[in-house]
Amino acid sequence: MAKKMGIVALLLFGVYVLCMYWYIFHSGDGKIPSALQGTAADPVMFMSGKELFLSGEYSKIRNFLFFIATPFEWLIYFLILLMGVSRYFEKITTSQTKWKLLQNAGYLFLLSVFVYIVLFPLNYYRYYLSKSYGISTQTFTSWMKDGVLDFWVSFGMSLIIVTVIYWLMKKSEKRWWLYTWLLTIPFTIFVMFIQPVVIDPLYNDFYPLKNKELETKILSLATQANIPAEHVYEVNMAEKTNALNAYVTGIGSNSRIVLWDTTLNRLTDNEILFIMAHEMGHYVEKHIYFGIAGYLLLTLLGLWLTNKAMRPMIARYGQVLKINKISNIRSYPLFLLLTSILLFASDPVSNYISRYQETRADQYAITLMEDREAAVTAFQKLTISGLSEVNPPLLVKWFRYTHPPMLERIYKVADHEGQKQEIPLKEEQKK
């Protein structure tokens, strides 16, 4: 039975990979609508021939990797259960100590190391791909350091979460999901509060914006928007990437507006001010708090569905999956498998809401700045720096894009009339 299920899982994954390969590389989707060709939103108008080629090639490879990576993780979790690896890890840790916390820590460490090793070739290829296309500037040593940090931060949080969840499962097999969700509320708020000052600085250096003249302009914008801001932060990303970015993070007194130094180095003041106005739009419209509320609602639904699925699956296939009961920590890969599937299935909804919020922030920035040209050129430079796909295929947009595609963003912020002449062509395109 276990062998048959394993073969079926591998065959299904193989068919899925072939289907996604055809869709990403040969479906012919993602073309620029004829009505928008020659406008400021058309990449031909602001990207060189080489940039267009690299953007198309890089985007397709990245999209394909995205769509196979998550199901590949599902396959790993399923095989870990099917082959008895999870039961073996539990057996090792329970034989070493009677302390439940240490047993959980040992099991999670073994499982995390195993998954990290299996996924390492795929993660390394993603790093190599970004490096070869000129997006990443990070050395292998620095990349490995970030990977190790990710491992330990994830391990520490997982240990807390898993210990609490499986303790609640032992206490109440029917209502553990509800109690877990209730504890998720303060935990999520706490993590959001400490992230800007505890977690993020583990990876990069953050400091107040060095360009005081620009900071004065940004704080003046904040005053116009009734935002109580004292500092704008910059972060040293140039040693890791050529991409551009800015974002809002944290809540309460730890909330921050952050600019990558790559953004500061490559955009004009007006373009930076537009991006800052965009981030202020998120603050004014309280998108962070709506995001937390949405996350908590999805978590409640996800935990309920996970419980509904785990119990009958263990009752019917427990012997094949080597799981005695739901409260055994060896069932954790099944928990990861189900929650990952549910998260993936919820991506189109959460991404749609995020894209709506980003559009609102763009509109707010235009109203505040009244500088459409800066908005257009900023988006064009963001596209070039990350070799972004301006008009992705539909499935890619649904599952990957938390921001509207650049085709939509540029078209909406630009003055629609006269765009064919308003944005000048690059020198190499004039020839």
Say yes or no to pLDDT of 225 above 60.
yes
Residues known to be catalytic: 279, 362
The band of 426, judged by pLDDT with boundaries at 50, 70 and 90, is: very low
- Angle between helices 287-321 and 49-82 in degrees, nearest 10: 40
Say yes or no to pLDDT of 103 above 80.
yes
Q: DSSP secondary-structure letter at 195?
A: I
The answer to whether 203 and 146 are in contact (CB under 8 A) is yes
358 is in an annotated binding site: yes
The answer to whether 372 and 320 are in contact (CB under 8 A) is no
Interval 285-295: pLDDT, tens: 888 889 889 99
Find the DSSP H helices in 370-400: 372-386, 394-400
Segments making up each domain of the chain, as ranges: 2-204+286-430
Classify residue 427 as exposed, middle or buried by CB count within 10 Å of its CB (0-12, 13-18, 19+): exposed
Mean pLDDT within 369-398: 90
The answer to whether 277 and 221 are in contact (CB under 8 A) is yes
Mean pLDDT within 36-43: 84
Interval 120-131: pLDDT, tens: 999 999 999 999
215 is in an annotated binding site: no
Interval 176-191: pLDDT, tens: 999 999 999 999 888 8
Say yes or no to pLDDT of 423 above 60.
no
More confident residue, 170 or 3: 170
- Residue 286 has a CB neighbour count (10 Å cut-off) of 11
Interval 248-299: pLDDT, tens: 777 777 777 889 999 999 999 999 999 989 988 988 888 888 988 999 999 9
Mean pLDDT within 66-93: 94
- Measured CA to CA, the distance from residue 18 to residue 56 in angstroms comes to 20
Beta bridge partners of 248: 257
pLDDT at 30: 64
Mean pLDDT within 106-111: 95
% the chain with pLDDT above 90: 58
Beta bridge partners of 136: 241
